[in-house]
């Protein structure tokens, strides 16, 4: 039940975000004097609506987004009533049109930033000093956190009923113990410990540790497991030993901030997220084959894109496991991604309209400098083949990600 509640909550959060996106367009357009005739949440048949002034507000039957209708977005639009010619959007200065068209993405960025600031003050943000690479984790001291079990064949799936107990827990090692040697072979880092444990035959082994600054030893029955090589999680598995522990990093995973310091932490985190978002978007074409593999029965790559369906499922998992920080970080990441994606200079995205507006402005300026007549506005009708191509490609990619999220979803927690 908690899982379904989480899915519904995350889907509702997405719907509210998209509705606020459209509200950003509407409010800025109205502020500049443009005519907005409709603002609806959802698509399809109208369930309820009312009219205030010149704008109809309402809710439609398919809760998969929303829209607002600004009169005369392009010179080719035929929705202009007599007397409204001066209020059509395309006649306004380019800077005003830019604000209106970017208001949706700005709304998504604002939602992400506000949520991050609240998290920074209340729950904390990810610690920038926390190791985020495999080499960084390997360099950490060999301080352990007991695992609930040992997964013999596929460590990525997490513990399930019937898996053997952790050898370290059975030997009464404790969270926070720092391993110093295995069968007399000294270790100082987590990477050292992994190498030594894997090289030790399964069975009885002597583990030296330090607990509360006092040395000790324990006799551990190392488990025999199948694992891929370190540094190559997709490599062929082989028989190695396992201690049944996880790394307990020396640095906290999160840092909580005061109300003022949270602004700087939010800005720093947002900058890192912007870089990661750009890199993720650059990798999208490379991930299409991996998505197809997931749809056709192969293993789902955790680095493949997800749709709103996949994001909602992950939100459900987060609520089911009481991981509310994960829930809200998913919300932040999705809003930031939508905000950036929507600014791409492609029709029918908002960024496409912005790019055309500034192209027209630059072209008019150039023609004036060289003494030629202003060529006027761009004919959107001539751009329709390119627009349809973008819609077709985007629709196919969305269908692929949705299908992958239904038949072979990414999971963050074992269920």
pLDDT in tens, the chain (415 residues): 788 899 999 999 999 999 999 999 999 999 999 999 999 998 889 999 999 999 999 999 888 888 999 998 888 887 788 888 889 999 999 999 999 999 999 999 999 999 999 999 998 888 887 776 666 778 888 888 888 888 877 666 667 777 788 899 999 999 989 999 999 999 988 888 889 999 999 999 999 999 999 999 999 999 888 888 877 777 788 888 889 888 888 778 888 999 999 999 999 999 988 888 888 888 888 888 988 988 888 888 888 888 888 999 999 988 988 888 889 999 999 999 999 999 999 999 999 999 999 999 999 999 999 989 888 888 888 999 999 999 999 999 999 999 999 988 888 775 4
Q: What number of other Cβ atoms are within 10 A of residue 212's Cβ?
A: 8
Phi, psi of 274 (to 5 degrees): -65, -45
Rounded distance between C-alpha atoms, residue 329 and residue 17, angstroms: 14
| Whole-structure pTM value | 0.81
Largest interatomic CA distance in the chain:
91
Which residues, other chains included, contact 67 with Cβ-Cβ below 8 Å and sequence gap of 6+? Answer: 22, 38, 39, 40, 43
Q: Which CATH number fits domain 134-247: 2.40.10.10, 2.30.42.10, 3.40.50.720, 2.30.30.110?
A: 2.30.42.10
Q: What is the DSSP string of 105-161?
A: HHHHHHHHHHHHHHHHHHT-EE-TTS--SHHHHHTSB-BEEE-S---SS-GGG---T
The DSSP call for residue 367 is H
Sequence ranges of the domains in the chain = 1-35+71-126+258-415, 134-247
Rounded distance between C-alpha atoms, residue 13 and residue 5, angstroms: 12
299 is catalytic: no
Selected catalytic residue, list 22, 54, 134, 320: 22
């Amino acid at each position: 039940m908690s899982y379904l509640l989480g899915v519904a909550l995350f889907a509702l959060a997405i719907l509210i975000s998209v509705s606020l996106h459209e509200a950003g367009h509407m409010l800025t357009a109205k502020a500049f004097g443009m005519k907005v005739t409709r603002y609806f949440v959802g698509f399809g048949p109208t369930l309820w609506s009312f009219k205030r002034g010149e704008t109809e507000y309402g809710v439609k039957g398919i809760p998969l987004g929303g829209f607002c209708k600004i009169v005369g977005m392009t010179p080719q639009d035929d929705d202009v009533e007599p007397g409204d010619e001066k209020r059509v959007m395309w006649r306004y200065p380019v800077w005003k049109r830019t604000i209106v068209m970017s208001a949706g993405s700005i709304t998504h960025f604002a939602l992400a930033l506000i949520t991050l600031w609240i998290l920074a003050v209340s729950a904390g943000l990810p610690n920038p000093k926390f190791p985020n690479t495999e080499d960084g984790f390997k360099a950490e001291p060999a301080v352990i956190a007991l695992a609930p079990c040992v997964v013999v064949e596929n460590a990525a799936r997490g513990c399930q009923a019937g898996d053997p107990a952790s050898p370290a827990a059975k030997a009464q090692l404790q969270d926070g113990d720092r391993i110093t040697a295995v069968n007399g072979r000294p270790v100082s880092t987590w990477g050292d410990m992994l190498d030594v444990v894997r090289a030790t035959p399964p069975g009885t082994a002597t583990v030296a540790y330090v607990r509360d600054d006092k040395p000790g030893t324990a006799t551990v029955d190392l488990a025999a497991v199948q694992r891929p090589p370190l540094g190559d999680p997709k490599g062929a598995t082989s028989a190695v030993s396992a201690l049944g522990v996880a790394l307990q990093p020396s640095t906290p995973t999160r840092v909580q901030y005061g109300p003022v310091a949270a602004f700087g932490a939010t800005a720093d985190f947002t900058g890192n997220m912007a870089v990661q978002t750009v890199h993720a978007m650059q990798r999208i074409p490379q991930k299409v084959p991996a998505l197809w593999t997931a749809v056709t029965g192969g293993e789902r790559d955790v680095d493949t894109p997800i749709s709103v369906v996949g994001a909602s499922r992950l939100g459900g998992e987060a609520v089911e496991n009481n991981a509310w920080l994960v829930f809200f970080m998913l919300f932040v990441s999705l809003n930031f991604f939508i905000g950036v994606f929507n600014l791409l200079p492609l029709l029918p995205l908002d960024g496409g309209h912005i790019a055309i507006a500034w192209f027209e402005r630059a072209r008019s300026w150039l023609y004036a400098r060289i003494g030629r007549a202003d060529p006027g506005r761009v004919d959107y009708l001539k751009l329709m083949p390119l627009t349809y191509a973008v819609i077709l490609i985007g629709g196919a990619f969305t269908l692929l990600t949705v299908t992958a999220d239904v038949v072979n979803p990414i999971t963050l927690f074992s269920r």
